[in-house]
Amino acid sequence: MRLVLDTNTVVSGLLWDKAPSQLIDAGLQGHIELYTSQALLLELEDVLPRRKLARRVAASGLSIAQLVARYALLAQSVLPAVIARTSADPDDDHVLACALAAKADLIVSGDHDLLNLKTYQRIPIVEAAEALMRLPQR
């Protein structure tokens, strides 16, 4: 199963032990394929240094650069598809363009604007807990 994780889901997966971290673990174990793009990795680099995440980043025992590098190694990077502007937030369009290029089975996000779309080009947009329920049984 091919998944594109929105940056908020990646951050949650890297820093907290909840449903998003289980998706990252499934990627590490080879049960799913994770996809990203240069734009999404740059957004991750931009989000992780935020003050509200400082304590969680420190608790991870890794630097921001190490967290980004680990995710970049785990997720296959694709050249995003060219899409028409779909959202008021260009970051949301980066997620959609990546998912289209990756031929993703799911887009996983905690962003209400993306979740409200429900699908994009027949790709379901779901929260992490829903994605976990849709994963093939291991």
Q: Tens of pLDDT along 97-121?
A: 999 999 999 999 999 999 999 999 9
What average pLDDT does the segment 5-12 reach? 98
pLDDT value at position 28? Answer: 96
3-class SS at 119?
strand
> Does the pTM exceed 0.85?
yes
Has residue 138 got a pLDDT over 70? no
Report yes or no: 72 and 36 within 8 Å, Cβ to Cβ.
Answer: yes
What average pLDDT does the segment 43-49 reach? 97
> Domain residues of the chain, as ranges?
2-134
Name the strands in the sheet holding 123-126, side by side, starting at the edge strand that comes first in the sequence: 76-77, 33-36, 2-5, 106-108, 123-126, 119-120
pLDDT value at position 51? Answer: 97
pLDDT value at position 29? Answer: 95
Homologous superfamily of domain range 2-134: 5'-nuclease (3.40.50.1010)
